[in-house]
Structure 1
């Protein structure tokens, strides 16, 4: 007598290759490898190229910081207008991050990365001819569109390229692209801007970005960008990525302004020169890279997301040390801890994303949510801190930082509990 299960199998017939592909794409386990025969090693050279694309985009993001006075003098910009030019790229991300995630999903991650880099390069070249504020602001807005495409495509590509055991490490390294790019722009921009003028410096970055677009087009595997996407994620599928994005927004809101306003604090409160304050701030900002790399090492050793999230509690005493009116050494120590925690928690967010996705091919839209949230926090944080410090003094920032960082840690602890649950069985 034939059993019911066997009879059903006979009626349905043996699954063909198309059914096998569909079953792999529909596998809800976020950490399951989607390739039929995964490589024994992750393609680290290819991942490095993707990372370099993000770094070059971040260099373009910060290219006006070091030549800002020259730009303002030649174009007759006010300090407020210069601020808009510098922050316009982030402002675009705060508005279009999620829609851009769906756009990347539609056209593919590899093509979107190349298109984003090319857009940054062309808009950067156009800004060389700017003669007024409106032209420069429009060019920076177009750059912002390219920047969003790059910052969504790169982590989605890294997630797809890296082997399962390497994903946490690869994504935590990816999270360092902003401090590395901004640090490079700060260090090189002063000398290059003096030698070439601000237009020459901007043109140099445009050429470098275009070269990176060509390298990405030639070296990235077409399969990584053209892989068929599954169903579009609905609101329910984005619930946990939304919690993760909230943690990222809060982290950016209360940590990035610390570094942005540090030169002003050192000059006003401790009498440092502008040059010394800028150099010290560059060193402090690069500590975020160490924090991001530490996440990859700890995840590889098996430390859970929830345990790593607890390190965010260090932000509260660090803020007290920074703004309590002690010595300049104490202030720099507090700022250094907060900068390192910014890199640490940001890397943890990117590394935790695949653990809360319903499907790996939701990574593009998930990264869009995170990009928009991070841009929103980065955009709102500095003016909020400036308003509070201007009206109530720097010590008033301590409770603001405490509330934001504790809320971010709480959200990451929820993510840690979610990530610790057993994975659903494959169908």
Structure 2
């Protein structure tokens, strides 16, 4: 069964070739004749299919938010218990991202992606039949394993499918999968949940994910034996710079995600808005991160330095003051939160785009993305409780120094990494000539 999504049937050999890492521009310049003859192109149809699979997986992050009242009423859950159900999908990523990256390297990214999507479909269907909290949490932990593997395999596959000139754009597009998935599930969940019930809504998403699984299975190669990645297994030294990049990512997520997650509470308590208005504003603001992520790809194509994009993260500092000023207006708070959401999308895309440039080898991408997933999940898991603790003890304004410290540290580390990338590029330049 070797068909494409929108074209004629391709051979298994052709589909395998899709996952061969595309040659870099350095290789092409060393051999101009080869460059003119081969003219490698990015496999954009397959890249978009993989992106949509990631979006389908990311809907699991927000699918229970809009049907929470129904669930708490039917299952007798407290708000705290509902919160654990919602956040449990990233818990495994916070502790097992790096080991999962090595696992993907062992069994192959294409095979792992299909298995991950099947696991998410099964776990989602299981959660729709849940009768108590334990059942629900068990299914969510299983779903988190699938989501973790999707988060690792998709960018690794995209990296291999995209030619070097397109990698920044392709990975920037990929970086928008979380806000798009959350936005779609949040916007559609209310109406679908009212019409189908929360169980019907969950089954609908499971069905859509199953459709994407079949499309991915048809598009990507599948062999009887696992396709182990070529080359040496990356050790601690090879992962030093990728690890530093992901520390910056973790700090950025730690201080920006809570602003969005806790925004409805801020708008209700400090600005007197209704829950419906606060929810609508938060949903719109969360989607502001999408153009931020897409902008990175376009700016990199225009050769804007990575360091300039990283430094833009300092805009979060004044935005935090706007958001949490107790005497500020609603417009100021929404504007500040919008800037923070924009920078979250931009800096997240920057991390994905910069990762290939700090890896020693492109076939280390699965392990590198495992590290990115683990650190991002850790920031997402720890950020909201930290902000809740600080705001509960000293008010929302006390969160501003935390944001400032976290963003200054994050941007500083990113600038250090981008300086390393620039130096590496300069050292490679004489080899091209």
Task: Say whether the fold is shared (TM-score over 0.5).
Answer: yes
CA distance, structure 2, for counterparts of residue 419 and residue 227 of structure 1: 28
CA distance, structure 1, for counterparts of residue 284 and residue 93 of structure 2: 26
Map 1:47-62 onto structure 2 (within 5 A).
Answer: 47-62=47-62
Gaps of 5+ in 1: 1-23
CA deviations on 1:189-208 (whole Å, 9 max, x unpaired) are 00000000000001111111
Q: 1:83 to 1:197 in 2, by over 3 A?
A: same
1:123 aligns with 2:123: yes
Correspondent of 2:349 among 343, 347, 364: 347
Q: 1:143 to 1:174 in 2, by over 3 A?
A: same
CA contact (8 A) 1:31 1:164 kept: no
Map 1:26-425 onto structure 2 (within 5 A).
Answer: 39-221=39-221, 226=227, 228-325=229-326, 326-421=328-423, 422-424=426-428, 425=431
CA distance, structure 2, for counterparts of residue 114 and residue 315 of structure 1: 38
CA distance, structure 2, for counterparts of residue 239 and residue 386 of structure 1: 32
Deviation at 1:151, TM superposition (A): 0.4
CA distance, structure 1, for counterparts of residue 231 and residue 27 of structure 2: 15
CA distance, structure 1, for counterparts of residue 81 and residue 354 of structure 2: 37
Q: 1:39 to 1:378 in 2, by over 3 A?
A: farther
Q: 1:389 to 1:31 in 2, by over 3 A?
A: farther
CA contact (8 A) 2:172 2:297 kept: yes
Q: 1:132 to 1:170 in 2, by over 3 A?
A: same
CA deviations on 1:380-407 (whole Å, 9 max, x unpaired) are 0001101101110011111000000011
Q: TM-score, normalised by structure 1?
A: 0.90
CA contact (8 A) 1:248 1:370 kept: yes
CA distance, structure 2, for counterparts of residue 93 and residue 179 of structure 1: 18
Q: 1:133 to 1:30 in 2, by over 3 A?
A: farther
CA distance, structure 1, for counterparts of residue 221 and residue 106 of structure 2: 18
SS at structure 2 position matched to 1:237: coil
SS at structure 2 position matched to 1:235: coil
CA distance, structure 2, for counterparts of residue 402 and residue 216 of structure 1: 42
Q: Tell which structure's C-alpha radius of gyration is larger.
A: 1
CA contact (8 A) 2:60 2:89 kept: no
Give aligned pairs, total. 399
The root-mean-square deviation of aligned C-alpha atoms, in Å, is 2.0
Deviation at 1:330, TM superposition (A): 0.3
Deviation at 1:40, TM superposition (A): 3.4
What's the counterpart of residue 7 of structure 1? none
Q: TM-score, normalised by structure 2?
A: 0.89
